[in-house]
Amino acid sequence: MVDLTQQAERHTIQQLPDARESTGASAVFYAAPPGPYLPAWGTRARERALRQYYRHDRNWMAQSAFAGVAKKIASTPWELRGTRSVGYWHELLYHADFGAGWTTLITKIIIDYLRHDVGAFVEVIAPGRTDRPITQRVVGLAALDPLRCYPTGDPTYPVIYHTALGGYHTLHHSRVWRLYDMPDSDDQRPGYGLCALSRAIAIVVQQLRVTSYIDTRLDDVPPPGIMILRNISEQAFASALDLYSDEQQRDQQPVLGRMIRLPSIDPTAPASVEQVAFAQAPDNWNYREYVELHANAIALALGVDVQEIWQLTGGNLGSAQQSEILHAKSQGRLIGSLLTQIERGLNAILPRHLTFELKRRDPYEVQERAQTARLWGDFVQTVSSTLTADEARRILANMVEAYHDAVTDERGAVVRLHDADIADAEAGNAKPLPPAPAEQVSVEDNEQLAQRAKSIQATRLDFELAMEDLLAAARAGEIDRRRFIIILRSLLARYVQRAFADGLEAGGVLDPPDEDDRALIAAFVADHVQFVKNFADELYREGGISDRQAYWRPSMWWNKSVEPSYFAGLASADRNGMYEWVLGVREEHCRDCLRLNGQRHRMRDWRRRGLLPKVDILACRGFNCDCRLVRTPERARGRF
């Protein structure tokens, strides 16, 4: 496979550093003015200062906020899927960081990501030299101390690691995994960003000072400042302090308690001591309001809902309903970004036949979407006598985001609802879908299949999440059977089109579907009408479906109804490609599969004959068929 990164390096107009020639960023003299709180950006002194600020005893709010984010992400369930070596990699992840475990590794990564501009570093441990690509099995993952890691800007050797004994290791990109926030384009310090702690440093410093001010106000020691003595000599004041010190050392307190008694020189004028503190609270200062201001500022710097780190007070701002809604919205910011980076980073490390996925489903999000859909659905139903079906459809599409995604085409236009199609769906006269996808074409080996699964993973996740939301609303009684049929048909139409476009792109076609492709997409959508009705009958009958069935249905609909359009798009993009029929790993095969084994024909010929793996016309009827069509550079061979 062509290394695109190396090609980009050869043809770029930029002068990239070479870590092997000591021209990496760690050797570049970088001059930048220091800030009011931190040393200059992109320096080791700044990284050390950031760590000291993070660990400060009075920095309780930022520490708690970071800990909350780290624990939330570390506790997210994950799944490893693949064709082989799943058990090995599951154990490797489970015992990561030298046996400390997955939770420990992820917690270290998140904390370093939040508190260091240089970010977090993970060593991909495998036999061999550290400046060479990994050629043997990975044996572990472990967090590295960011203060010992120096980004170089060299894409091939992105990091130099300095050991505790004074040595260093140049790390090949396959042996290190990095995450850092807000990457900067400064070519004198490539690989540096701006972490959450840097963004919130002014608030953190204020928090330290406020806490220190409160401590001095609560302590019996006078705060730093100017002391003014009136009608008291210096000698009398010193004698009073000595007497006070002696009384404090006694076992019992004096009659008048622990207090200083100051005599007046002039009996007609009272003695007094006036303390003028160097530090004063701001005008109209309120501790609760000040802390809430800090909480909001830190939440803004982190990119999370403030209620993730602080329970709001007063009015309805801290209500459970708003907590759920704001919590759901926060998932698309820091939490969502980190989950995506972790998922992509691990998939880059894993072999191509494995896929890592974080199960980031949030019940608050489901509840919010279902509530919104129910409210607008009730409104449309109330005024339905004055609306056509397409008008009601447009209102829901404009007001309900999930519904809009389900019923719009790639240009964002609402797909019109044809009453005849719905009538056919209700009457059960639609064309049935074959028991196995007729257009599914396997054109890759195991490693390519895993790579293909990653490329369309986003489409699959979006579809399954939308399907889960729809099922949740239906099972909760928030939508009726007819509306369920309409929404599911629109959902399938949208994602069949997206999956087909993914297949085109995987086959090297970046243009939108042509007229033939659109006709094929329309045929895919039409074939699902009867199955949508059957599913609605099953869902809305007495007792409905079980929780277990509801859990598996989104993935089943993806496998049987949406994913085949991806293979159709792939075949459409590569009509002239030469493909060979390869038997699967099963011990027994039907006579048609045995006859076709080893034959090579262009994809258009395979499709014209209808001879594709898992189709009905095969003697095996496609059930349990695991044969494949593999792309080959060889000449055509055999006869149909």
> Higher model confidence: residue 249 or residue 133?
133
The encoded tokens of residue 300 equal: 């803004």
**CA angle (91, 97, 99) in 5-degree steps:** 55
Give the C-alpha separation, 120 to 109, whole Å: 5
At 420, which amino acid appears? A
Distance spanning both ends of the chain, measured CA to CA: 32
Q: Is the pLDDT of residue 340 over 80?
A: yes
281-336 pLDDT per residue, tens:
666 667 777 777 778 888 888 777 777 667 655 444 444 555 555 554 544 478 87
pLDDT value of residue 192:
92
Which residue bears the tokens 């992820």? 106
Q: Is the pLDDT of residue 49 over 90?
A: yes
The encoded tokens of residue 570 equal: 């792939």
Give the C-alpha separation, 629 to 600, whole Å: 9
Tell me the three state secondary structure of residue 136.
coil
The encoded tokens of residue 81 equal: 């899927």
Mean pLDDT in residue range 102-128: 94
pLDDT value of residue 54:
93
User: Strands 628-631 and 149-151, how do they pair?
Assistant: unpaired
242-271 pLDDT per residue, tens:
777 766 666 555 544 556 656 666 666 676
Mean pLDDT in residue range 156-168: 89
User: Could you tell me which of 569, 576, 583 has the C-alpha nearest to residue 618?
Assistant: 583
- How many angstroms separate the most distant Cα atoms in the chain? 126
What's the pLDDT band for 472 if we cut at 50, 70, 90?
Answer: confident
347-368 pLDDT per residue, tens:
999 988 888 988 765 555 566 6
Identify whether the C-beta of residue 176 lies closer than 8 Å to the C-beta of residue 122.
Answer: yes
The encoded tokens of residue 456 equal: 């369309």
What's the pLDDT band for 446 if we cut at 50, 70, 90?
Answer: very low
User: Strands 628-631 and 578-582, how do they pair?
Assistant: antiparallel
pLDDT value of residue 402:
66
What's the pLDDT band for 110 if we cut at 50, 70, 90?
Answer: very high
Residue 515: Cβ-neighbour burial (10 angstroms; 0-12, 13-18, 19+): exposed
Q: Compute φ and ψ for 179, nearest 5 degrees.
A: -135, 125
> Residues 89-92: contacts with CB within 8 Å, 24+ apart?
89/350, 89/351, 89/354, 92/138, 92/139, 92/140, 92/141
What's the pLDDT band for 160 if we cut at 50, 70, 90?
Answer: very high
Q: How many CB atoms lie within 10 A of CB 255?
A: 5
pLDDT value of residue 566:
75
Q: Is the pLDDT of residue 633 over 60?
A: yes
pLDDT value of residue 125:
93
Q: Is the pLDDT of residue 13 over 70?
A: no
Radius of gyration of the chain (CA): 34
Residues of the chain with pLDDT > 90, as a percent, come to: 15
Q: Is the pLDDT of residue 447 over 50?
A: no
pLDDT value of residue 503:
78
Residues of the chain with pLDDT > 70, as a percent, come to: 69
What's the pLDDT band for 454 if we cut at 50, 70, 90?
Answer: low
Q: Is the pLDDT of residue 445 over 50?
A: no
The encoded tokens of residue 604 equal: 């258009």
pLDDT value of residue 542:
83
